[in-house]
Structure 1
Amino acid sequence: MMKYVLCLLGLGLVACSSADINKELLIGTWKNTALKVKMNTFQNQEATKWLTAQRGQWEAVLQIKPIETTYFSDGRFQSTYTGLDNKRLGTEEGYWKLNGDSLILSSDNYNNSYKLEWTGNELRFVAWLDWDQDGNKDDLYDGWQVKVEP
């Protein structure tokens, strides 16, 4: 009986650790495909605002090309922002690390932790951010990315 309990306990630990994201799978370039942001107390006012860009609507809604983010094996990342005219608008650079099923991105402009979830060939990013830049991380971000380069 004790062997049976230990076996089940061992299987449970393996199942729990499988929720961790494999670092090697993350390394490469990813492109945003969709997002939904619920901005609570929009710009510090008692109002809730939604921003939604469904698959195929990114450019029309956000007026930029989908953001491309590259995760390098040395723990650095770079996000590139490109206008609809294909001109580079800017980049964000910093460091990334995985903690179980969470991705932590740190740059000069932010320090965010995203819960990651694999869904088919896409990776889902969920986090509380300061999307509306009102000084409060009270905006729920739910974004989707697909890998474009290994």
Structure 2
Amino acid sequence: MIRALLAVSMCILLSCQSQNKKAEESTVHPLLGEWRNVDLTVEVDKKDGDPSRIFKVDEHTWEDSLQIRPIRTYFRGDGTFNSEHFNLNDSLILNPSGTWSTTNNIMTMITTNPFSDTTACEYTINGDVVAFGCWVDWDQDGEKDDWYLGTQKRFSTKTDN
């Protein structure tokens, strides 16, 4: 009887540990890991109505159009991020970093290095693909009036960089 009770207790304990592990796994944010840009569309000066121009690149035209490799962005569990920009010679030319957080389907990225900026993007995630939409200052006119829509694909769940 004591053995049976001990066996049942062990089963319950192992079951609880398994459920706790599943609960912990389900709380891992789906954006953690390394993401690489696939495509982007920017509608310049859209906030006031029709855009003055539309800039588009996809995975086939990315490097020719932008003269950089697809951007590698790392989202970490401690709420930090960085976005590595490599030129076509594979030299790191820009690596903005800062903090990120999400509320519902809005991601807020606060860049602190090498410049200061705060951007709030709507996002939708489907498996290993995420789409971000946000107002940015693409044309560098001092106004966040350009609508950015970009797609990134998860490259890795590791966040070493």
Q: TM-score range by the shorter chain?
A: 0.7 to 0.9
1:136 aligned residue: 143
1:23 shift after superposition = 5.3
CA distance in 1, matches of 2:103, 2:140: 26
CA distance in 2, matches of 1:69, 1:95: 12
For the 8 Å contact 1:23–1:98, the answer to whether it is kept is no
Give yes or no for the alignment of 1:101 onto 2:105.
Answer: yes
Matches within 5 A, 1:31-110: 31-40=36-45, 48-108=52-112, 109-110=116-117
- Structure 1: runs of 5 or more not aligned: 1-21, 42-46
2:132 aligned residue: 125
TM-score, structure 2 as length reference: 0.72
1:26 aligned residue: 31
Percent identity for Structure 1 against Structure 2? 29
1:7 aligned residue: none
1:77 shift after superposition = 0.3
Please list the CA deviations of residues 57-112 of structure 1 after superposition, one character each: whole Å capped at 9, or x if unmatched. Answer: 21111110000000111000011000011111120010000010011000132100
Secondary structure of the 2:96 match is strand
CA distance in 2, matches of 1:119, 1:36: 19
2:22 aligned residue: none
For the 8 Å contact 1:31–1:148, the answer to whether it is kept is yes
Secondary structure of the 1:25 match is coil
- Structure 2: runs of 5 or more not aligned: 1-26
Question: Number of residue pairs matched?
Answer: 125
Taking only aligned residues, the RMSD between alpha carbons, in angstroms, comes to 1.8
Larger Rg: 2
2:10 aligned residue: none
1:121 shift after superposition = 3.2
1:145 aligned residue: 152
Could you tell me which amino acid in structure 2 is paired with residue 24 of structure 1? Answer: H
Secondary structure of the 1:128 match is strand
